[in-house]
């Protein structure tokens, strides 16, 4: 037999004679429009983690990180034989911090995707850096409407490749407005925000829905972050004759506003309502009796057998009970991301892995009807993946803390046409839930 001149043909001829020989097709070149991450055998899959690990919301950032850790532990911290390596960066829950942290992780061309952020303010800047770099990012905590969609249309801060499992707080404002109008009989309401895209989005969502229902928004005011003197804005609320004040603020501004409002006789009959940012033991402990009778709107925690198992895993892993339910959304976000990486990766017999960035995004956008801890997960074209379900809570027993507050459900809001008995839809139907 003559020897073929082409080396590849020669190898093929050799393998035909000796069956012990195996051929491995060389990896195809990357054709993904956004580029590929190519990993050699045993090379780790790198994920950027952007969370607020310092400052007043650090506990929320820690809960997000713990949700991610629980999801990784279930997979033995591997995907398709590759270990997962985290690059954790602190955003400080600021716009500047979000941008700087994102720039650090995208600087590494081997970064596959990003898990974060904690706050909507740092998400707005981090998501722009992420998107421009061709990556994907998913959060279990961001909820400002401005990041995804408002009224079914693309929001101002929307970025391709940004996803979240935390429910869009546009629905939170709607839930609060529906409860105020239909259940409390409120017809005059005021709002206060701090200029943050999160608090502003909630306040605007409340105002928009309340006005559509037939109520009057008599004042839309704003304070500054770090403000501790609330007298002028509270005086304006009193002069407006608002029957209800909706103030979706963080600590310590929320603490200052409540404490000073309770000292004003002109506001004695004004209903006070906030949101999930103040559903914290630290707030209830600090305010005590001053907070009695306050209403809160917040995401409805999962109560499935799976969520119970996750809570046990949390306790076993971190030797403490979760302080809130936010780790559940973080766990779901992490699982969606890990599934998408697994589903979009191309692996070769030699252990090499290729992950197309556009393919990863597309896989996330196509994540539909996935069973999550918090309920069915369905990513829409704007990146919203979580089902919006909200509780209206009233604090009647400050001594019982968050546990007592979350047990005192006044209403359940779900924005769909087939609202279950015991819940409220956009039309305000359904009884108060005990």
Q: In angstroms, rounded to a whole number, what is the distance separating the alpha carbons of residues 188 and 168? A: 25
**Are 293 and 215 contained in the same domain?**
yes
**Does position 420 have pLDDT exceeding 80, yes or no?**
no
Instruction: Give the model's confidence band at 173: pLDDT under 50 very low, under 70 low, under 90 confident, else very high.
Output: very high
Q: What whole-number distance in Å separates Cα of residue 333 and Cα of residue 103?
A: 22
**159 and 187 in a common domain:** no
Q: Does some domain include residue 29?
A: no
Angle of helix 231-240 relative to helix 253-261, nearest 10 degrees? 50
In this prediction, residue 126 carries a pLDDT of 98
Q: Which two tokens stand for residue 391?
A: 């509780």
Dihedral of the alpha carbons of 149, 153, 155, 156, in degrees to the nearest 10 = 180
**pLDDT at site 431:** 35
Within a domain: residue 157? yes
Residue 345 within a domain: yes
Q: What is the mean pLDDT of residues 168-175?
A: 91
359 shares a domain with 398: no
As a residue count, the chain comes to 434
**Averaged pLDDT for residues 46-75:** 95
Dihedral of CA atoms 117, 121, 122, 126 in degrees, nearest 10, equals: 90
Q: Is residue 43 part of a domain?
A: yes
Q: How sure is the predictor about 4, in pLDDT bands with cuts at 50, 70 and 90?
A: very low
At 29 the pLDDT is: 74
Sheet holding 111-116, edge to edge: 78-79, 82-90, 45-51, 111-116, 137-139, 162-164
Token pair listed for 314: 């949390």
Tokens 């506003």, residue?
Answer: 257
Least trusted range by pLDDT, from 189-193, 299-303, 414-418? 414-418
Q: Are 124 and 42 contained in the same domain? A: yes
pLDDT digits (tens, 9 = 90+) for 237-277: 999 999 999 999 999 999 999 999 999 999 999 999 999 98
pLDDT above 80: residue 396: yes
Task: Specify the pLDDT at position 179.
Answer: 97
> For 109-144, how does the pLDDT look when each residue is reduced to its tens digit (9 = 90+)?
999 999 999 999 999 999 999 999 999 999 999 999
> What pLDDT sits at residue 425?
54
User: Rounded to whole angstroms, how far apart are CA atoms 188 and 219?
Assistant: 9
Q: In this structure, is residue 407 part of a structural domain?
A: yes
My answer on whether 360 and 225 are in the same domain is no
Residue 44 located in a structural domain: yes
Residues 212, 124 within the same domain = no
Over the stretch 27-40, which tens digit does the pLDDT of each residue have? 567 999 999 999 99
Residue spans of beta strands (DSSP E) within 243-282: 244-246, 271-275
DSSP code of 197? Answer: H
Q: Is 421 left (phi over 0), alpha (psi -120 to 50) or beta?
A: beta
Please state, in angstroms and rounded to a whole number, the distance separating the CA atoms of residues 232 and 389: 35
Q: What pLDDT score does 304 carry?
A: 81
Residue 11 pLDDT exceeds 50:
no
In this structure, the answer to whether residues 80 and 226 fall within a common structural domain is no
The one-character DSSP state at 293 is T
**Order of strands across the sheet that contains 345-347:** 36-39, 353-356, 345-347
Average pLDDT value for residue range 318-343: 94
Whether 229 and 113 map to the same domain: the answer is: no
The count of structural domains within the chain is 2
Beta pairing, strands 375-377 & 370-372: antiparallel
Structure tokens at 41: 């055998």
**Angle CA 112–116–118, to nearest 5:** 170
Which tokens in the block code for residue 237?
A: 């609320």
Whether residue 307 sits in one domain with residue 164:
yes
Q: Which domain holds residue 348?
A: 36-168+303-377
Does the structure show a pLDDT above 50 at 229?
Answer: yes
Same domain, 336 and 409: no
pTM attached to this predicted model: 0.82
Asked, for residue 60, whether it belongs to a domain, the answer is yes
In a domain, 423, yes or no: no
CATH number of the domain bearing residue 79: 3.40.50.2300
Q: Tell me the pLDDT of the chain averaged across its residues.
A: 89
pLDDT interval class at 322 (50, 70, 90):
confident
Same domain, 239 and 338: no
Statement to judge: residues 398 and 349 lie in one domain: no
Dihedral angle over CA of 203, 208, 213, 216, nearest 10: 70
Judge if the upstream peptide bond of residue 252 is cis by omega within 30 degrees of 0.
Answer: yes
Dist. CA 253–CA 249, nearest whole Å: 7
């Amino acid at each position: 037999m003559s020897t073929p001149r082409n080396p590849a043909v020669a190898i093929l001829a050799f393998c035909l004679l000796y069956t012990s020989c195996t051929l491995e097709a060389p990896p195809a070149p990357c054709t993904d429009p956004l580029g590929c991450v190519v990993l050699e055998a045993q090379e780790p899959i790198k994920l950027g983690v952007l969370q607020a690990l310092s400052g007043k919301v650090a506990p929320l950032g820690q809960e997000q990180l713990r949700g991610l850790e629980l999801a990784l532990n279930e997979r033995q911290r591997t995907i398709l034989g590759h270990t997962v390596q985290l690059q954790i960066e602190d955003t400080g829950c600021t716009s500047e911090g979000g941008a700087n942290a994102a720039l650090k992780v995208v600087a590494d061309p081997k970064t596959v995707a990003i898990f974060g952020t904690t706050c909507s303010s740092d998400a707005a800047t981090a998501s722009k850096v992420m998107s421009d770099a061709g990556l994907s990012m998913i959060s279990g905590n961001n909820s400002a409407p401005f990041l995804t969609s408002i009224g079914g249309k693309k929001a101002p801060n929307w970025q391709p490749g940004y996803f979240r499992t935390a429910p869009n707080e546009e629905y939170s404002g709607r839930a609060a407005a529906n409860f105020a109008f239909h259940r409390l009989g409120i017809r005059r309401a005021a709002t206060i925000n701090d200029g943050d895209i999160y608090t502003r989005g909630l306040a605007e969502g409340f105002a928009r829905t309340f006005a559509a229902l037939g109520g009057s928004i008599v004042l839309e005011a704003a304070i500054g972050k770090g403000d501790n003197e609330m007298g002028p804005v509270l005086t304006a609320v009193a002069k407006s004759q608002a029957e209800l004040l909706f103030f979706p603020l963080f600590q310590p501004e929320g603490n200052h506003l409540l404490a000073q409002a309770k000292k004003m006789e002109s506001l004695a009959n004004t209903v006070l309502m906030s949101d999930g940012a103040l559903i914290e033991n630290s707030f209830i402990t600090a305010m005590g009796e001053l907070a009695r009778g306050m209403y809160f709107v917040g995401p409805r925690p999962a109560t499935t057998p799976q969520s119970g198992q996750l809570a046990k895993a949390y306790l076993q892993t971190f030797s403490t009970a979760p302080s809130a339910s936010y780790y559940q959304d973080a766990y779901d976000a992490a699982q969606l991301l890990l599934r998408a990486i697994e589903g979009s990766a191309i692996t070769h017999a030699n252990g090499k892995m290729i992950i197309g960035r556009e393919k990863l995004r597309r896989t996330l956008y196509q994540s539909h009807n996935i069973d999550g801890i918090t309920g069915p997960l369905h990513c829409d074209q704007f990146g919203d993946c979580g089902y919006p379900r909200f509780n209206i809570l009233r604090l009647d027993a400050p001594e019982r803390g968050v546990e007592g507050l979350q047990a005192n459900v006044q209403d359940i809001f779900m924005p769909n046409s087939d609202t279950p008995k015991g819940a409220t839809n956009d039309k305000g139907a359904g009884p108060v839930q005990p």
